[in-house]
Amino acid sequence: MTGDSPSDRQLLAALPRQPELMAVLYERHAPAVFRYLARRAGPPAAEDLLSEVFIAALSASSRVVAHDSGSGLPWLYGIALNVLRVHFRQQRPTPGVTRDFGMDWEAVDSRLDAWAERGRLRTALAVLSDPDRELLLLVGWEGLSQAEAATALGISHGAVRVRLHRARKRALHALEKLQDSDPGSGGTHVTTLYSKEQPS
Amino acid sequence: MNRLDELIAASAGVPDGTPDELGNARAALDAAIVARMRQDSPAGRKAANRWWSGRRGMAFVGVAGVAAAVAATVIVIPSSSPHPATSPRADSSAKPTVKAKAPARAKRTATTPGTSPVSYTFTVASTDVTAAYVFQKAAQSTPDGNAPLVNGWPDAPYWQTVSQIASSTCPGVVETSTDWLARSGAVVVQNVTSGPKSSMTSACIGPTGQSTYPVYNNPSGPMIGGKIYTWSQFSALPTDPARLQSILAADATVGVAPDKGESESDFLFQTIGILLTSDPVSPALRKALYAVWAEIPGVTVSGQYTDSLGRTGTALSFGSSTTVVDISNGQVLAQLDGAPPIPPGCVRATTAGNPHASCVVGGSGTTVYISAGPVSSEPSV
C-alpha cells in the first residue's frame, strides 16, 4: 500500500473518529459487496441493499478490526449477511413456498442453464445449516480464504476449517445420493430431502 | 474439481454493479456520513460541512479513483492499529502454572452446553516434553477396544459431539454445537448461540434476537478428502500407522483443497484433528491416528491449557493451528488458531521462578470440544 493510499487496516482504525473514511472503503469495496448481495438476492435487490450494508458498517465501525490480511472486505461481508437476513425476513411470504432467510433461489436458478443443475445445487446446499452454507459460499463464490471467512463469520480459523470440512462432506454426500437415486434429475428431491424449521 | 465445486462455480457469475447503481448507494451513504459527523460535536458539524462541500458532485469513482476520494478529506492515521479481539492481557489472578510433564487428570465436570459461556484460558507453561512424548502418552491412555466404553460402543446407534466456539469479534458470544451422527448417515445438528444481547449486533454473526439455529436431518458420514465413509468402512480403516498414513496422505487433498498457504503436512495435521473430534473413531483407530500424527515432522509443544471445566491439556502447534490434547485419556480438548498468543511482557517460561511464568489470555476464537463419544439416545427434532 502506498503512502497515498491508506490500507484498510489504517482506515478501519481511524473510522470511529473519522466516519467520512467509510466513503473510501466504499469506493474500494462496493463492487465486491454488490456482487455478494447480487449472488444471494439478485441484482435489483443488491442495488437497494448496498447502501444499507455500508451504513450499518458505519454504525458498527467502533468495534471493527481488519482481518490479518489487512482487508476490510470480510468484515463487510459479515455485515452484508445480516442485512440480507433482515431483507428476506421482510419479504411477503409466498403460499406453498418455504421461506429461506438467506437466499433468493430464483436469482440463483437464473444463473444455471439446466433445470437439473438447479435442483442439484439446491439439494447440495439445502442439507447445510445457514451458517455452514454461508461459509461454503464465502469460500466458493466470494473466493475468501478460510481465515478471511472466519473474520466474516466472527469465528476462529480452526472452527471454519472444521465447519467447512463438515459442510462439504454433507453437500457431496447429498449429491451422491441424488445421483444414485435418479441420475437424470435433481429438481424434485429437494423438498423430500430437507425439512427445515424456521428460525425462532 | 468435483461436482459440488462445479455447481458452485457455475452459479457464481453475476453482473457487476453499474456506475448508476453504485452511485445511488454512495449518495445514501454520504448522507449517513454527514449525519453521523454532525451529531458528534460542533467541530464535527464543521468538518461535515467541509467534507460535504468537497463531496458534492462526485460520482462513484471505483478503485482507480480511491486516491481522489481520499484527497477529499484529511485522514488522521494512528500509529498503530488497536486489535481488541485478540489483544492479550496479563492476568495476575492466573492459575498457577502446571508443569506439562505431569498434568493433572482432567476433572469430569457436568455441563449443560449453551446455558452459560465457558471461559477459556491458555496458560503458558514450562515444559520439557516433546511432541512425540505427548502423542505416545495420548495413544497409550486411549482406552482399548475391550474397555467398557460408555453407551455400548461399538454398537451404539449415534456418535455425539459437543463443541463450543467463542466468537472472536463479538464479546461474550458463545455458540454451542451438538451433532448426532447416526449409523444410517442421518445427522441432527443443534446450534445454540448465547451471549449478551448487546453483542448481537450487525457486526456479529447470528441474526439479532435469534438464539437457535435450525435443527435438520441429512445424510452424512466420516470424510477423508473427498470420500465419504460409512461407519463400517471407517472402522475398517487399517490401524497400522504406516498404512493409515498412506491413505490419509493420498486422500488429504482430494475434494477439500488446502487453504491458501497451507502445506500438505499442515492439512494432514488438521485432518487428523477433525477425525478425532468429529467422527466415530474406534479406540484402535484413535491410537493409530495418534501414531500418524507423531510422524509429522515439526510439531512443537507450545504450552499447557486449562479451561473452566477444569480440564488440562498439552498444546501442540504446527503450521497454522494448535491442537490441545489431554494425554491422560487421549481426548482432543480444543483447537486454536496459530500458536497460542503470548501477552506482551510474557515470555515462555523455561526456568522455575520466572516472574512471567504464568500468563493467561482470553480464549476468544477457540473451539473447545466438550465431549465426543457414542450415545444411545435418539435426539428429538
The minimum CA-CA distance between B141 and chain A, rounded to whole Å, is: 25
Which has the closest alpha carbon to A167: B210, B278, B247, B14?
B278
Question: Residue B62 CB: number of other CB atoms within 10 A?
Answer: 14
Which pLDDT value is given to residue B340?
A: 54
Say yes or no for a CB contact (<8 Å) between B60 and A150: no
CA distance B148 to B41: 69
Question: Which DSSP letter does residue A33 get?
Answer: H
Residue B144 has pLDDT above 50, yes or no: yes
CA distance B22 to B274: 42
Average pLDDT taken over every residue of chain B? 64
Question: Residue B40 CB: number of other CB atoms within 10 A?
Answer: 13
Beta carbons of A198 and A180 less than 8 angstroms apart: no
pLDDT tens digits along B300-309: 887 777 766 7
Which has the closest alpha carbon to B205: A160, A182, A1, A109?
A160
Question: Which DSSP letter does residue A163 get?
Answer: H
Say yes or no for a CB contact (<8 Å) between A31 and B214: no
Interface test with B, best of A1, A20, A53, A142 (most B CBs within 10 A): A20
Say yes or no for a CB contact (<8 Å) between A197 and B51: no
More confident call, A165 vs B51: A165
CA distance B175 to B190: 10
Say yes or no for a CB contact (<8 Å) between B55 and A58: no
Residue B31 has pLDDT above 90, yes or no: no
Which pLDDT value is given to residue B261?
A: 55
pLDDT tens digits along B278-294: 888 888 888 999 999 99
Which pLDDT value is given to residue B289?
A: 93
Which pLDDT value is given to residue A37?
A: 94
Beta carbons of B355 and B94 less than 8 angstroms apart: no
Residue type, A54: F
Q: How far apart, in Å, are the Cα atoms of B309 and each of B111, B113, B116?
A: 8, 11, 12
Mean pLDDT in residue range B302-325: 79
CA distance B180 to B177: 10
The minimum CA-CA distance between A91 and chain B, rounded to whole Å, is: 16
Helices A73-89, A22-41: axis angle to 10 degrees equals 50
The minimum CA-CA distance between B88 and chain A, rounded to whole Å, is: 15
Which has the closest alpha carbon to A194: A184, A177, A182, A183?
A177
Q: How many CA atoms lie within 13 A of B155 on its CB side?
A: 3
pLDDT tens digits along A112-146: 777 667 778 888 888 787 778 888 999 889 888 87
Mean pLDDT in residue range B97-105: 27
Which cell numbers hold the place of B115? 446455558
Say yes or no for a CB contact (<8 Å) between B61 and A27: yes
CA distance B185 to A52: 41
Q: How confident is the model at residue B317 (pLDDT cuts 50, 70, 90)?
A: confident
Say yes or no for a CB contact (<8 Å) between B78 and A5: no
Which cell numbers hold the place of B15? 453482473
pTM of this structure: 0.54
ipTM of the complex: 0.79
Residue type, A141: W
Question: Does an H or E element contain A69, and which?
Answer: none
Residue B79 has pLDDT above 50, yes or no: no
Which pLDDT value is given to residue B154?
A: 66
CA distance B204 to B207: 8
Residue B379 has pLDDT above 50, yes or no: yes
Beta carbons of B374 and B181 less than 8 angstroms apart: no
Question: Cβ of B63 under 8 Å from any chain A Cβ?
Answer: yes
* CA A20 to chain CA mean position, Å: 26
Mean pLDDT in residue range A176-197: 45
Mean pLDDT in residue range B97-108: 28
Beta carbons of B303 and B98 less than 8 angstroms apart: no
Beta carbons of B89 and B314 less than 8 angstroms apart: no
Contact partners, residue B59, CB within 8 Å, separation at least 6: B19, B23, B26
